[in-house]
Amino acid sequence: MTTPTPPTSPLVLGAMMFGTTIDEDTSFALLDRFVERGGVWIDTADCYSFWASETGQGGDSERVLGRWLAARPGVRDRVRIATKLGAEPLWAGSWPDRRAGLSRRAVLEAFSGSLERLGVDAVDLLWLHQEDRTTPIEETVEALAELTGGGLTARVGASNHPAWRIERARAHARHLGATPIDALQLNATYLRVRPGTRPPGVEHRFGVYSDEQRDYAETHGLEVWAYTPLLGGAYDNPEKDIPEVYEHPGTSRRLAELDAVAAELGATRGQTVLAWHVAHGVRPMLGGSKVAQLDAAMDAVRISLTAEQLSRLDQPA
């Protein structure tokens, strides 16, 4: 008797700290459990995690994933790999002033390194990690066109970019007859920051999912991935404070409605936030370090909100 295959999950497993603060055995356990429960998308980057590595540069996360893929024959057919480039420090301690950027040479060299570390011939999605104003976006798009045209990546996406540069990039890709950017990766959670502020850890000016980016994505059918959706556990862990940038009257109303809907669902605040993302067609990303955290998140993205609950969460009284 064969074990039934679980339905695929919209959750993305973030591998940012694999190989640095999350050791290889734990990383493998998380990856195995993710696949066992129907997980598909795994997200990494060439710069992960330079700030926690012994060398001051990235690559550890991709190397761990490469070793996991090599140790699990056949698993490559069950998962999709996404990696990012453009934010790797040129040398230890040089970030953010000196980073690889998105010139044609930088894109092609960085991507070649990622394939080598991952031990794969191609990836399923390649992200531009953060914008590079020193390089014309058209040059970057032309480099991406070489990769998609050569079958080295099936899709391309952009993280931490303003909507206008995404539109400019997509227009140039269409002009070339190339694969356009079809996904955005941004910081997004249920609570909203005060205008003019950014959450801790988001250094990018356009890193927080804005109403304009949301409108652009919905209008043009771009997929959205949400990083740090759980505020590092602050929704449910009493030992962690919700960051000060979320302190305003709107937060009290949103938390009250979140608590009410969570109680109705028999779920935690964090699980309800993940379910809310999925209800809006957003892929939440989990960067947890424990299998129990992963299981809770995998349960959460299968929770169905009613139209009434979704409306209350969107527009709290």
pLDDT, tens digit, 9 for 90 and up, residues 189-206: 999 999 889 999 898 999
Res 38 pLDDT > 90: yes
At residue 4, the pLDDT reads 59
The span from the CA of 89 to the CA of 86, in Å, is 9
Residue 12 region by backbone torsions, left for phi larger than 0, else alpha for psi between -120 and 50, else beta: beta
Res 42 pLDDT > 70: yes
At residue 207, the pLDDT reads 96
Res 2 pLDDT > 60: no
DSSP element (H, E) containing 223 = strand 223-227
Q: How would you label 14-25 residue by residue, b for 16+ Cβ within 10 Å and e otherwise? A: bbbbbbbebeee
Mean pLDDT rounded to a whole number for the chain: 96
Residue 59 is which amino acid? G
Domains (ranges, CATH) in the chain? 12-314 (3.20.20.100)
At residue 65, the pLDDT reads 98
Cβ pair 156, 126 in contact under 8 A: yes
pLDDT tens digits, one per residue of 70-100 = 999 999 999 999 999 999 999 999 998 999 9
At residue 3, the pLDDT reads 52
The span from the CA of 56 to the CA of 44, in Å, is 17
pLDDT tens digits, one per residue of 131-143 = 999 999 999 999 9
At residue 317, the pLDDT reads 75
At residue 5, the pLDDT reads 64
Q: What is the pLDDT confidence band of residue 7, given thresholds at 50, 70 and 90?
A: confident
How does DSSP classify residue 164? H
CA 306 to chain centre: 26
pLDDT tens digits, one per residue of 223-238 = 999 999 999 999 999 9
Token pair, residue 91, equals 């040398």
> What distance, in Å, lies between the first and last C-alpha atoms of the chain?
52
Q: What is the pLDDT confidence band of residue 175, given thresholds at 50, 70 and 90?
A: very high
At residue 203, the pLDDT reads 87
At residue 116, the pLDDT reads 98
Mean pLDDT of 9-19: 98
The span from the CA of 200 to the CA of 80, in Å, is 29
CA 217 to chain centre: 15
State percent of the chain over pLDDT 90: 96
Burial (CB count within 10 angstroms: exposed 0-12, middle 13-18, buried 19+), residue 261: buried
The span from the CA of 90 to the CA of 8, in Å, is 38
ω into residue 284 within 30 of 0, thus cis?
Answer: no
String of DSSP letters for 127-151: EE-S--TTS-HHHHHHHHHHHHHTT
At residue 119, the pLDDT reads 98
Mean pLDDT of 18-23: 98
Residue partners of 168: CB distance under 8 A and separation at least 6: 137, 138
